[in-house]
Every structure is written in C-alpha cells, then in structure tokens.
Amino acid sequence: MSGRWWGTRFVTAVVVLAAGLTAVVTSSPEPAVALDNGLARTPPMGFNNWNTTHCRADFNEAMVKGIADIFVSRGLKDAGYQYVNLDDCWALPQRNSQGNLVPDPARFPNGIKSLADYVHSKGLKFGIYTSAGTKTCNTAGFPGGLGHEQDDANLFASWGVDYLKYDNCNNQGVDAQKRYTAMRDALRNTGRPIVYSICEWGRTGPPRVWEWGKPVGNLWRTTGDISDNWTSMIGKAQANRVLAQYAGPGHWNDPDMLEVGNGGMTPTEYRTHFSLWAIMSAPLLIGSDLRKVNEDTFTILKNTDVIAIDQDKLGRQATVISSSGGLVVYGKVLANGDRAVALSNETTSTATIGTTAAALGLGGSSSYTLKDLWSKAIRTTTGSISASVPAHGTVLYRVSRAGTTTRHEAEAATFTTGTTVDKDHSGFSGLGFANTPNAVGSYVQWTVERAEAGRATLVFDYANGTSTDRPMTIAANGTPSATAKSFPGTGAWSLWRTAHLTVDLKAGTNVIRATATNSGGAPNLDYLEVATP
Ligand code: GLA
C-alpha cells in the first residue's frame, strides 16, 4: 500500500483498445484506483440499531451503551465485532443557528461525543448515519448532508466517529457519484480514518454503484432494505451473489444488515442468512437488540468458524458454482487454499445438494476433509461433497485437501521481460500477481524444492478477464505437457480460478515453467501450489 491515504495522482495508462490498437492516455488528476484509506480490509463487523428499533424511542443512549457492554461481556468483541453504529433519527429535525446537526436530547441527553467516548472506552469503534440528500429517510428524520458535507464530516470527526453510513433519500436528483464523492472528500479532509458506507441501494445507473464505488467507499449497499422474513432475506442474497467480481479488501458488496435474532425467521433460516452473508464476504452488522435476544442468537452470531469465512483475508466473495430449482452451491476460495462451500436449499422441502472438490477448484487429490461449520462434524471424502439439506437450510463446509500443499507466489517467480507485478485486481494472494506481455512465449517460471520424487498436482491460481482462452504449455524440468493447458476466461480480472494438472517431480530442485501459446500471453497468474495427490 502506498504511504498516502487519500492522495490524488496523475495517471498515465496504456489503454488497449478493442481493435488491438494501443493509446497512451494521460489524465489529471484522478482518484486512486481504490479508496486507499487502509480501512475495512475485511468486511466490517458490528451493530446497527435500525433493524430492531427503526426510529422508536428505545433507540437511545441506554440501548447503545448496553450493546457496547454486551459486545465485551458476551464475547462478541473477541469474536471480531467492533463497530457500534447509530442509524437514522439520532438528530433533531433542525440544524442549530451555526448550521450544525443537533443530537436529539431525549435520546442522547449527553450528546454523541460522550457516547462515542464510552464506546471507545470499551475498545470498540463508533459509527453514525446521515443521508446524501436534504433530509434523511425517515419522516421523523433530520437534515441530510447534501451541501453540508464538510461541516457534517468535521462535526462527526470532532465527536470521534469511525464509520459513516451515508443514505440516499431526498437526494434532489443530484448524480449519485457526485454526491457520494463529495462526502468521501469531506471525510478525507478531516484527517480521521472513517469507514465510508455508501447506502445508495444499487438504485441508479449504469454505471451501478458496484461499478463506481471502489474508489469512493469501503462498502456499498447492493439492494433495497432487508426485512425480517425469509423472502426478503433470500432476495438480497440472490441479488448480491452475482456481484462477486466487485468485492475485495477495502471495497465490499453490502446486501444490508443482519436480521438474526429479530424473530421473523426460524433458527434454520437465520443460520442460512448468516452462512450466506459470511460466504459472500458481506459486512456482519448485527441488527437485533442483544439485550433481549435468546441464546440461539448468540450461538449463531458467535460461530467463529463461520465468522472466519467472512473475515478471510484473501477477501474473495463466493461465486455461484451451480444453481438449479432453488438448490444453490456457493464456493469461496480462502487464503490458505481451503474452500468454503455452502449447499443452500431455497425450496420448501428437504433436498440433497451436491458438488465436488473439483468443481470448487480443489481437484487433483485423492482425499479431502470436510468440516461442517454448524454441527462441527468432520469427515473425509474422495471428492464428492453432498448433504441432505432441510427446507430453507444451508450446510456450510470448510473443505481442505489432504496431504501437503506448498504455495509459490507468482510475484516471487521469474518471468518474461516486460512482465509486471500488479495489484489492481483484488483477490490475489501475497503481494500481487504476474501480468505477462500479451505475446506467444510469455512465461512464468517457478523453482520448487521437493524432499522426495513422485507424482504432484500443480495448481495454478489465475484470472482471465477476456472471453478468449489463454492456453499455456506447462513444463516440469524441461519436459512440456503433451498438450497446452486451457486457461479460459474467468468472467473478470478480479475473479480467480484454478487450473491443475499432475506431473512427476524429482527429489531436490524442480523447475516449473508455464508458457503462453497464443498471442494474448499468459492469464494473470497469482500463485502455483504443489500438492501431494
Ligand atoms: C434507508 C436505509 C435503511 C435505514 C433507513 C433509515 O431506508 O436503506 O438502511 O438507514 O433509511 O431511515
């Protein structure tokens, strides 16, 4: 990461035009390619009162302090929940004579700064809300930030705010990118690190917020508001799960806050909700009043195995592996090479849902371990991954390849002159990925030590954002594969997949070279894993 958080910079880009022509474009100044505030490297976790209180009077200082206390006393802080956030209706309907927002004295008799101090004293972080419009969303709401961006950002920073949710109501038809960029800049100008949550609901465009949000915010709502029922919740999941290519460290898709514990869904449905949010790398903002919920709610919210799927530092949102008749398989690549897989039953009857380790990109081994992240049962399989899943239920597994696997990053390999180590497409492991020249013969070459001679599976993690295959010949110690290995399009440069093949390696030093056989060059290469079969 650059040492600068928010700087603009002059951008010189070589643009490859569709016709194969190249043009050098210099524009100035341009925002950095991602909102480089160093925040939300994993999806934010915390609390927001909206789903449980809306604007009712029980949204007040006692409640917010109570939640902060429970975060500590019930181990939620230890499980990773950090942000304690206020939603709409915390302020009075009028600004004061200085033009500042005024905390509602009935709800917050000691103001917001003292509440933020309290939350901070617990080792937690504090968040607030306003709208990119003239007024917030609720009829009992308060004046929004449109045209007041810097004053409001300054006020929030002076109170110690660490997170801002910026809503979309009463926006007067002003262009969304313009409104949300204005607040980004205002937050930047305060000098305080503030997670910036764009709440535009995926409403306007094209371009849609997921297409322009990366340099603007740390997360963006992809849907309208969630309600505490199955149909609403699964609808949000369905809309959000096709957007994997847009998510990554510092810039997340947000299918809205959690309803777990609010009482409108069954425990099975709430486990599905939590499982799908986790596998989709969604923010985990608890939306129930933890002072009143039952133990089942804590059991769901504190499932650290499931939280680890959400918080996995590689930051790749799951993609849909298969979907048929309401039986949906989601797969997510994890930082250590394991996969998370969700077998999700959207129908009203029990069904068997299955996939394979190979379909998850984990092929090439004779044995895999499956850990059920809800029942905690562990079993092994030769590759089939299948379960009987109740109506509206989800079975969530962590899948590991048996045997030993060693990873060799592409950026640490040797490669054709002209190759660059890039990081502009998220989801890569290590420090970046190798981007070779678009030419036949472009290669990346790894040196791999083996203790013993024998068969090994080579796993190449790659992205190909074109729709044209980028085949490569794979040579182990100078002996090329009989045919070129296919590296077909992955759908986007930020969608990574694996290709594998089995070779014989010798004891000692082995040289593995992947060489492009067509004029597109190699796909972007993230790493090579060498696994015992
Ligand atoms: C909008 C947002 C909700 C909530 C309400 C508050 O509907 O999408 O998440 O913040 O406003 O009024």
DSSP 367: -
pLDDT band at residue 16 under the 50/70/90 scheme: very low
pLDDT score at 363: 78
Superfamily of domain covering 11-30+405-532: Galactose-binding domain-like (2.60.120.260)
Specify the pTM: 0.93
Choose, from 58, 225, 424, 469, the residue flagged as catalytic. 225
pLDDT score at 13: 36
pLDDT score at 3: 31
pLDDT score at 177: 98
Please say if 167 is a catalytic residue. yes
Q: Give the side-chain half-sphere CA count within 13 A for 398.
A: 21
Provide CATH code, domain 45-310.
3.20.20.70
- 193 CA from centroid of ligand 1 (Å): 23
pLDDT score at 33: 66
**pLDDT tens for residues 356-389?**
999 999 978 889 999 999 999 999 999 999 999 9
- 131 CA from centroid of ligand 1 (Å): 9
Q: Give CATH 2.60.40.1180 domain extents, the chain.
A: 319-402
Q: How far apart are CA 64 and CA 119, in angstroms?
A: 9
Q: Enumerate residues 6+ apart whose C-beta is below 8 A from 94.
A: 102, 142, 143
Choose, from 162, 167, 310, 312, the residue flagged as catalytic. 167
- Bigger pLDDT: 351 or 7? 351
pLDDT score at 532: 86
- 375 CA from centroid of ligand 1 (Å): 35
217 burial (CB, 10 Å; 0-12 / 13-18 / 19+) is buried
Q: Give CATH 3.20.20.70 domain extents, the chain.
A: 45-310
CATH classification for the domain delimited by 319-402, as one of 3.30.590.20, 2.60.40.1180, 3.40.30.10, 3.40.50.1100: 2.60.40.1180
Looking at every residue in the chain, the average pLDDT score rounds to 93
- 69 CA from centroid of ligand 1 (Å): 25
Q: Is 89 in the pocket of ligand 1 (CB under 6 A)?
A: no
Closest ligand 1 atom number to CA of residue 138: 12
Q: Give CATH 2.60.120.260 domain extents, the chain.
A: 11-30+405-532
**pLDDT tens for residues 80-110?**
999 999 999 999 999 999 999 999 999 999 9
Q: Is 87 in the pocket of ligand 1 (CB under 6 A)?
A: yes
pLDDT higher than threshold 50 for residue 1: no
Helix (H, G, I), strand (E, B), or coil: what is residue 381?
Answer: strand
Q: Whose CA is nearest to atom 8 of ligand 1?
A: 225
State how beta strands 524-531 and 454-463 pair: antiparallel
pLDDT score at 36: 81
pLDDT higher than threshold 80 for residue 25: no
**pLDDT tens for residues 405-440?**
999 999 999 999 999 999 999 999 999 999 999 999
pLDDT higher than threshold 50 for residue 163: yes
